[in-house]
């Protein structure tokens, strides 16, 4: 009985493959459309798209074109070909702005860019594009059922840009330990970061590393610049303490403050 079952299954597969090959070679666009649709519904998106690619241009202006173009775009999305799916969904929305699928196509087109966004340590061009596309979607469909998901994606992408900017500023701080001239660059980088991302989750660390950079610059500075730089660093300490008095980093920050206070007292004694 099992042998008969496997034999029938084998024959079915061979027959199906044969029909698919015939459809690929056929000149009948209706046959390609029907088989492509059946394959799409069965989740066989790569095979379906091979047929769709042959007939999309020939269906322009026909009643079935809207369905075909949507399936074509979504098949690319389902197979994770996000560069093409983003283009195809955008093309669908432009071609059929009144379609019941236009909103979904707009969202999936933007989400395609989200999937293209790389890890934070790499260049973030796709991340910026994804944010732009998602924001356009939110503006265009403020009551969309996809709005909660779109906002989650925006938040995730924003965090990635924040982390990228924070790590760049932090890298200046690390490099400065070997090249003291980079402490000023580190301070500027953290200043810019705090201005650009005022609500960032990295705010506490950024303020601490800004203090650390200013402290190192002041302590290791030439005499005629030292007092001014130490006073700047002390201002950063006071700001950090005011916002994060219970921070685990306060122990190290207080150590810096004590050393800077001692150094500044020498200037007061001399004057």
Distance CA 89, CA 93 (A): 6
> Which pLDDT tens digit goes with each residue over 243-271?
999 999 999 999 999 999 999 988 776 65
- CATH number, domain containing residue 262: 1.25.40.10
Residue 10 counted as domain residue: no
Residue 257 counted as domain residue: yes
Residue 221 counted as domain residue: yes
Residue 204 counted as domain residue: yes
Provide the pLDDT for residue 23: 85
Query: Does residue 23 or residue 251 have the better pLDDT?
Result: 251
Provide the pLDDT for residue 26: 85
Residue 99 counted as domain residue: no
DSSP string spanning 177-238? Answer: TT-GGGHHHHHHHHHHHHHH-TT-TTHHHHHHHHHHHHHHHHHTS-HHHHHHHHHHHHHHHH
- For the chain, the distance separating the N- and C-terminal CA atoms, rounded to the nearest angstrom, is 105
Residue 34 counted as domain residue: no
Instruction: Show the domain range for 188.
Output: 176-270
Residue 79 reports pLDDT greater than 50: yes
Looking at the structure of the chain, the number of domains it has is 1
Q: What is the mean pLDDT of residues 165-191?
A: 86
Q: What is the mean pLDDT of residues 73-88?
A: 98
Would you place residue 181 in the very low, low, confident or very high pLDDT band (cuts 50, 70, 90)? Answer: low
Residue 205 counted as domain residue: yes
Would you place residue 179 in the very low, low, confident or very high pLDDT band (cuts 50, 70, 90)? Answer: low
Of the candidates 89, 80, 79, which has an alpha carbon nearest to the alpha carbon of residue 110?
89
Q: What is the mean pLDDT of residues 100-126?
A: 96
Residue 97 counted as domain residue: no
Max CA distance (Å), the chain:
105
The sign one gets for the Cα dihedral 116, 119, 124, 128 is positive
The sign one gets for the Cα dihedral 186, 188, 189, 190 is positive
Q: What is the mean pLDDT of residues 145-169?
A: 96
Q: What is the mean pLDDT of residues 30-59?
A: 95
């Amino acid at each position: 009985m099992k042998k008969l079952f496997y034999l029938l299954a084998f024959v079915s597969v061979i027959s199906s493959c044969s029909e698919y090959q015939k459809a690929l070679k056929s000149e009948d666009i209706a046959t390609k459309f029907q088989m492509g649709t059946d394959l799409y519904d069965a989740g066989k998106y790569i095979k379906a798209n091979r047929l769709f690619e042959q007939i999309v241009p020939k269906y322009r202006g026909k009643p079935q074109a809207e369905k075909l173009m949507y399936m074509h775009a979504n098949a690319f999305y389902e197979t994770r070909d996000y560069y093409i799916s983003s283009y195809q969904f955008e093309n669908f929305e432009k071609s059929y702005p009144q379609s019941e699928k236009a909103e979904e196509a707009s969202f999936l087109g933007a989400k395609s860019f989200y999937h293209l966004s790389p890890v934070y340590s790499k260049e973030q061009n796709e991340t910026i594009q994804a944010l732009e596309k998602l924001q356009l979607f939110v503006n265009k469909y403020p009551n969309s059922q996809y709005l909660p998901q779109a906002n989650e994606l925006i938040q995730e992408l924003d965090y990635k840009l924040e982390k990228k900017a924070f790590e760049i500023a932090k890298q200046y701080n690390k490099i400065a330990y070997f090249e003291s001239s980079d402490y000023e660059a580190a301070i500027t980088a953290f200043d810019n970061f705090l201005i650009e991302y005022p609500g960032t989750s990295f705010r506490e660390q950024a303020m601490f590393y800004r203090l650390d950079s200013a402290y190192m610059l002041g302590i290791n500075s030439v005499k005629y610049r030292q007092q001014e730089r130490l006073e700047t660093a002390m201002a950063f300490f006071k700001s950090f303490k005011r916002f994060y008095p219970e921070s685990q980093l306060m122990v190290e920050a207080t150590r810096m403050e004590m050393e800077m206070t001692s150094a500044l007292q020498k200037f007061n004694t001399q004057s």
